């Protein structure tokens, strides 16, 4: 059957089938994007936690360095 021989109903059916396929493809793409976004949000949270841990370690090291500097100052002043 050629395009010209198709009835109006057949053409509408094909158009609806195409529309359904496009909507399904769009839905699947949206679902994939949601999962990717969720993964990125989780990774972002992990990185935030890691940064906070590193900040804590830096504070401890800074405190140790200050204590060492104070101890050296005390030795120098003796």
Instruction: Identify the band that residue 71 occupies on the pLDDT scale cut at 50, 70 and 90.
Output: confident
The average pLDDT across 22-35 equals: 98
Q: Which token pair is 35?
A: 């999962």
Instruction: Identify the band that residue 6 occupies on the pLDDT scale cut at 50, 70 and 90.
Output: confident
pTM for this model (two decimals)? 0.62
Contacts of 6 (CB under 8 A, 6+ apart): 14
Compare 70 and 59 and report the one with higher pLDDT: 59
For the cut 70, the answer to whether the pLDDT of residue 31 exceeds it is yes
Q: Which token pair is 52?
A: 């906070």
For the cut 80, the answer to whether the pLDDT of residue 1 exceeds it is no
């Amino acid at each position: 059957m050629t395009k010209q021989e198709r009835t109006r109903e057949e053409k509408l059916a094909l158009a609806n089938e195409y529309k359904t396929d496009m909507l399904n493809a769009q839905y699947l793409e949206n679902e994939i994007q949601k999962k990717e976004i969720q993964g990125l949000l989780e990774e972002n949270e992990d990185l935030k936690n890691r940064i906070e841990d590193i900040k804590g370690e830096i504070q401890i090291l800074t405190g140790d360095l200050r204590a060492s500097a104070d101890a050296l100052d005390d030795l120098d002043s003796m």
